Structure 1
C-alpha cells in the first residue's frame, strides 16, 4: 500500500511538472522578457503591455521585407487600437537610421533597441537568426504564433480579436 501511494505521488509530480509553462520561444511558452530603451532612452518592458494581444516585431531599417510589412502593421494597429499592441525591436546599430525609419514609416507603436545588433541579449533569448521575425503573444505573455507574416498574420490577429 505504501509503495502504491509513493508511486502515485511520483506520477502526480511528473505529470504536474510536464505541464508547467516555461520561458522560451516555442508556441505555448512564456515569451522571454525584453526591457530595452525606446527612442527617448526610456526603458520599456515587454511585460508592461500585458493585458492585450502583443505582436513582438524584430526588424531593422535596412531590412526590405521588414519595411514592406509596415503598412500591414499600421493597418492592424489602426484596426485594433485597444486590443493589439505592437512592440518593435530594432536590430539597427545607428540611432539616426533607426529613428529615421520610424519617422519615415510613421510607426506609432512602441519601438525599442539597445543598438547592439547581434550582441544584444535579446538575440540569444529569442534565438534570432535573421529579420523579419515576429512573435504573437496573448494578454498573459504566452506565445500563440511565431514568424507569421502578411495575410496569415492578419487572419490570425483577426481570428483572435474578433472572437473576444
Structure 2
C-alpha cells in the first residue's frame, strides 16, 4: 500500500510539474521582466503593464525596418487604448537620437532605454540578436507570439484583446 501511495505521489508530481509555466522566451512562457529608465530617468517595468495585452518592441533609430513599422504601431496602439499597450525598448546609444525618433513618430507609449542596452541583462533574457524584434504578451504576462509584424500582428492583437 505504501508503494502504491508513493507511486501515485510521484506520478502526480511529474504531471503537475511538467505543465508548470516558466519564465522564458518561448510561446507559452512567462515573459521575463524588464526594468529600464524612461526619458525622464524613471525606472519603468514591463510587469507594471500586467492586465493588458503588451507588445514589447525592440527598436533603434538607425534601423530602417524598425522605423518603417512605427506608423502602423501608432495606429494599432490607438485602436485599443484601454486593453493594449506597447513597451518600446530602444537600442539607441545617443539620447538625442532616441528622443528625436519618439517625437518624430509621435510614439505615445512607454519608451525605455538605458543607452547601454547590450550591457543590460535584457538581450540575454530575450535571446536577442538583432532588431526589429518583438514579443506579444497576453494580459497575464504569457508570451503568445514572437517577431510578428504587419497584418499578422494586427490580427493577433485583435484576438488577444477580445479575450
TM-score in terms of structure 1 length: 0.96
Number of positions where the alignment pairs a residue of Structure 1 with one of Structure 2: 163
In 1, are the aligned partners of 2:138 and 2:160 still within 8 Å (CA)?
no
| CA shift digits 1:64-94 (9 cap, x unpaired) | 1111011111001111111101000001111
Runs (4+) off by over 4 Å: none
| CA shift digits 1:28-65 (9 cap, x unpaired) | 11000101000110010101111110110000010111
RMSD: 0.9
Corresponding residue of 1:44? 44
| CA shift digits 1:76-129 (9 cap, x unpaired) | 111111110100000111111111111111111000011113222101010110
CA distance in structure 1 between the aligned counterparts of 2:117 and 2:62, rounded to whole angstroms = 12
CA distance in structure 2 between the aligned counterparts of 1:13 and 1:49, rounded to whole angstroms = 32
TM-score in terms of structure 2 length: 0.97
Unaligned runs of 5+ in 2: none
